[in-house]
Every structure is written in C-alpha cells, then in structure tokens.
Amino acid sequence: RGSRIQLHWTNSRSQHSVDGPRHDYAVSRNSMTIKRRNDWPERLAAYFEANRDTPFEFGVHDCGLFACGAVDAMAGTTLASELRGQYQDADGERSALEAIVRVCGIPAIPVKMARRGDIALCETSEGMTVMVVDGPLAYGPGELGIRTIPLSQCIAAWRIG
C-alpha cells in the first residue's frame, strides 16, 4: 500500500497515463489466456440485457466490474467475482483493473481496430470510464443502468480473445 501505479496507452492523437494509489489485489491465477467461447455474441447480448437496469456502484457494479463481467460472459472466466467487493472507490477500481490486464496479458490495440466485445477507455463528462465495445457504441454502467457513448469518444482499447 502507499506505492503508486501507472497505466499508459497511446492512440493516434497523443499519449496518456493515469496514476493513483496502488492497492494490491490478488487474482487467483498466475497467468491465463482469455479465449471467447463459440457462442460469445449471444452471451454478451444476454449480459447487456441482464444488467440493463443495474445502477453504478463502486466495488459492486462499476465500469471495471461491468467490463470484467462482459469478459466473464464471453469467455467463461471469473474475473468480476474475484474483484467484486474488494474496493469502494476509483483508485481501488483502477488498481484492480491494472492487475487484471497484467495477469491476463490483454493487449492494447488502436481504438479504430476495436470490435464487439473488446474493452475501451472512454472520455465522458464524468471523466474516464472503461466500457465494452458493441459496434459504433461503447456500453457501461450509469446512474440508472447501462448507458452508451459513441466509440469516437474512446481514447484506448484492449483486445479480448
């Protein structure tokens, strides 16, 4: 505790970084490869529908857990359940996501290459948020349930499976 983490990414316009207090979160595997199941499109659609009216709450249903839940739905992993309830603020969420990206070896990609089911970092009026790509939109939790924003507002992306 007390040390800091930094996440870095580059897009066609500029370089970015986010830093914050480091929290050490254990993920129950040393390393893994995420592979989408054959029926992942149906699973992702069902995940969006199941969470349509679930409001945002740090550590319970925030943008990081929403993205991890989408990965779980598509690939049969248990990322969200391993992190749920382990933090209550944005700094904890950021640290938990950094641990997932590190352990799972999720590769960064240009936003213009993001496809359905990939993860994107988007700029919103509330700040940066992690969302799930679905066509020209990115989906994530909002105050009243799922909200969407244009993928053009996203500044970084990561390939899932």
Please, where are the H alpha helices in the chain? 40-50, 63-75, 79-83, 90-104
The fraction of the chain above a pLDDT of 90, given in percent, is 50
- Per-residue pLDDT of 92-113, as tens digits, reads 888 777 777 776 778 889 999 9
- Per-residue pLDDT of 32-77, as tens digits, reads 578 999 999 999 999 999 999 999 998 889 998 999 999 999 999 8
pLDDT of the residue at 96? 75
Higher pLDDT, 13 or 87: 87
Higher pLDDT, 13 or 57: 57
How far, in Å, CA of 74 to CA of 53, rounded? 20
Neighbour tally for 160: CB within 10 Å: 26
> Is the pTM of the predicted complex or chain greater than 0.85?
no
Q: b/e map of 36-75 (b: 16 or more CB within 10 Å)?
A: beeebeebbeebbeebeebebebbebbbbbbbbbbbbbbb
DSSP-derived secondary structure letter, 12: S
Higher pLDDT, 7 or 52: 52
